[in-house]
Structure 1
Amino acid sequence: MHSNNSSLAGENRGPLSSLEDWDADLLKRYPDPSSINEDKKAEEFRNYQATEKDGVREFYRLNHTFQTYEYVMAKKADFLKFDKKEMPIWAAFDFLNQLVDDSDPDTDLDQMQHLLQTSEAIRNDGHPDWMVLVGLIHDMGKVLCLFGEQQWAVVGDTFPVGCAFSDKIVYPEFFELNPDRYNTDYNTELGVYTRNCGLDNVHMSWGHDEYVYHMMKDYIPEPGLYMLRYHSFYAQHRENAYNHLMSGHDQEMFKWVNLFNPYDLYSKNPNQKSWDELKPYYEDLLAKYLPANLKF
């Protein structure tokens, strides 16, 4: 029904000023525990209605309306052929650098700086080098914008499709607009799945997480793949809303997702080394794990 998004949303094709508005909104919803004001009650931090930018609400209206099971399957069939383009990973990083959010008063960092801050924080804490690599590439799936994907199909909190939408997902009221909400095949607790079937058998909403996971699944150890695939699955790693779909193995692997998530959200190092100093290390790291060219 919604496999072709070329005509969707009309004038609402750009609900956010840039993709980084979503990142800024995440920090409002999931603030760093070490920086929470003592005079602010904990429940205030999950007040989605208080989001300052109307564009975020519009973003999630579109996301929750059109991320259907049919839509996800069509996108996977299209993009997971990886037949759009072949280029060195550095060319993908150059594209990501165009995604800086000039409207965000909290940061003037380009996307590459965010990735380096994440990866450097992981490296400084002595984690394995494959996890450092995950920090560097975890948002690389945003190159979907290069192929004309709309914002709500690139970023956003992710969630399973093909079963009932949890009320723990941000702005759950917008799922009333999603046709799967009224499809008896999809609107039960388990939907098309079986209890504790394991997340590898579950289809997640389409976006940069799923895309980069499939791109990297032949190159990176399994804990890193979980980090890539589920780092935006806040309904689970913050709310445990989908335990009924997770296997025991998923529960073990989510320890890695939980380890990674704070580096993604809260790594802000103003004293980071220059790119000239860092480049030799990251060139060697990429060469160790990835081919010279990647298919997108």
Structure 2
Amino acid sequence: MSVATAKQIRDYTTLLDPSEQLRPEPIYAGKLQSEFRNFNEESDDPIKQRVRKTYELMHTNQTVEFVKSRMRDWLRFNKFKMTVKDALLKLNDLVDESDPDTSLPNIVHAFQTAESIREKHPDKGWFHLTGLIHDLGKVMAFYGEPQWAVVGDTFPVGCAWGDSIVYRATSFDNNPDGKDSRYNTKCGMYKPKCGISNLMMSWGHDEYLYRLLVHNKSKLPKEALAMIRYHSFYPWHAGGDYMHFCTSEDIEMLKWVMEFNKFDLYTKSDSVPDIEKLWPYYEKLIDEYIPGLIEW
């Protein structure tokens, strides 16, 4: 296992901080960059109230034992069989309760993400498909999982919580792992430089879809699998936390996760793609990389 060098981490830190104070703030989908992921509390804003409640439940209940229980339940892949397209269509009925940037059905976000990737990376069909399916693990919300165990930013369990986690100051107050000496230190139950892939992540749609794609032998490349597994791991790819666990391979994969994040986050708008017109193109990609009935 290759350990991340000090230079790699410095290079990443430079990449991570795009503030470039002298440049004008970028605008995406008609919004300033700083207007996305606004988690400030406003008592009269029902969306922000919904978001805060979702994260408080998540941060209270996502423990090592809880994650183990969800893995035992979901990673048998015996819930149902469904094609990727049918799973995407189910997202018509899902609004992410953790997202302060949109209240549109999740399938709209899927196509917004995929089409923005396609525009910038026209020769990478696997990347387009990754954008389309990256939130498919959210189908768990239709099969008994509360949204706090499906959506939202992810973080490792079994070690101290990173400073950049949303609502970090108070939202973990009632999580029992914070009082458990096995789990409440910087490294907790892990070793330094053990590799991000060896961390047990809070349970949610990222880890589930990653495991599902591996189980069903999808043909997506490792870069796509990393994007899917860590696209909600904002404390790492946006906050710079947990770098003490990184290897050099993690730093390389992180570049792809950050590239994906630009399209995942900054394409959320009220502009709805012509989904029916786009289906034939994406159905061909599904047939190439993840065909047929999938075990969920």
TM-score range, shorter chain: 0.7 to 0.9
Give secondary structure in 2 for the equivalent of 1:203.
coil
Q: Structure 1 CA distance, aligned partners of 2:273 and 2:231? A: 26
1:108 is displaced (CA, Å) by 6.5
C-alpha distance after superposition, 1:22-56 (max 9, x if no partner): xxxxxxxxxx84259999999x9664678942222
1:109 is displaced (CA, Å) by 3.8
Is 1:233 aligned with 2:229?
A: no
Change beyond 3 A, Cα 1:268–1:45:
closer
Greater shift in the superposed pair: 213-222 or 284-293: 213-222
C-alpha distance after superposition, 1:165-217 (max 9, x if no partner): 12211111221211000000001111111101001111000001111111113
1:206-285 matches, cutoff 5 A: 206-217=203-214, 218-268=218-268, 274-285=274-285
Is the 8 Å Cα contact of residues 48 and 171 (structure 1) preserved in structure 2?
A: no
Greater shift in the superposed pair: 50-59 or 82-91: 50-59
Is the 8 Å Cα contact of residues 114 and 131 (structure 2) preserved in structure 1?
A: yes
Structure 1 runs of 4+ off > 4 angstroms? 35-42, 44-51, 104-108, 268-273
Change beyond 3 A, Cα 1:56–1:113:
closer
1:69-148 matches, cutoff 5 A: 69-100=64-95, 109-127=104-122, 128-148=124-144
Change beyond 3 A, Cα 1:191–1:89:
same
Q: Structure 2 CA distance, aligned partners of 1:176 and 1:277? A: 48
Residue 162 (structure 1) aligns with:
158
Is 1:34 aligned with 2:31?
A: no
Letter in 1 for 2:63: T
1:151-190 matches, cutoff 5 A: 151-172=147-168, 173-190=170-187
Give secondary structure in 1 for the equivalent of 2:265.
helix
C-alpha distance after superposition, 1:99-121 (max 9, x if no partner): 1479x997574322211111011
Unaligned stretches of 5+ in structure 1? Answer: 1-31
Greater shift in the superposed pair: 62-71 or 218-227: 218-227
Residue 191 (structure 1) aligns with:
188
Q: Structure 1 CA distance, aligned partners of 2:184 and 2:274? A: 50
Q: Structure 2 CA distance, aligned partners of 1:240 and 1:276? A: 39
Unaligned stretches of 5+ in structure 2? Answer: 1-24
Q: Structure 2 CA distance, aligned partners of 1:46 and 1:275? A: 30
Residue 22 (structure 1) aligns with:
none
1:83 is displaced (CA, Å) by 0.5
C-alpha distance after superposition, 1:80-127 (max 9, x if no partner): 11100011122212211111479x997574322211111011111125
Q: Structure 1 CA distance, aligned partners of 2:234 and 2:80? A: 31
Q: Structure 2 CA distance, aligned partners of 1:204 and 1:107? A: 25
Identity of aligned residues (%): 45
1:274 is displaced (CA, Å) by 2.8
Change beyond 3 A, Cα 1:233–1:105:
closer
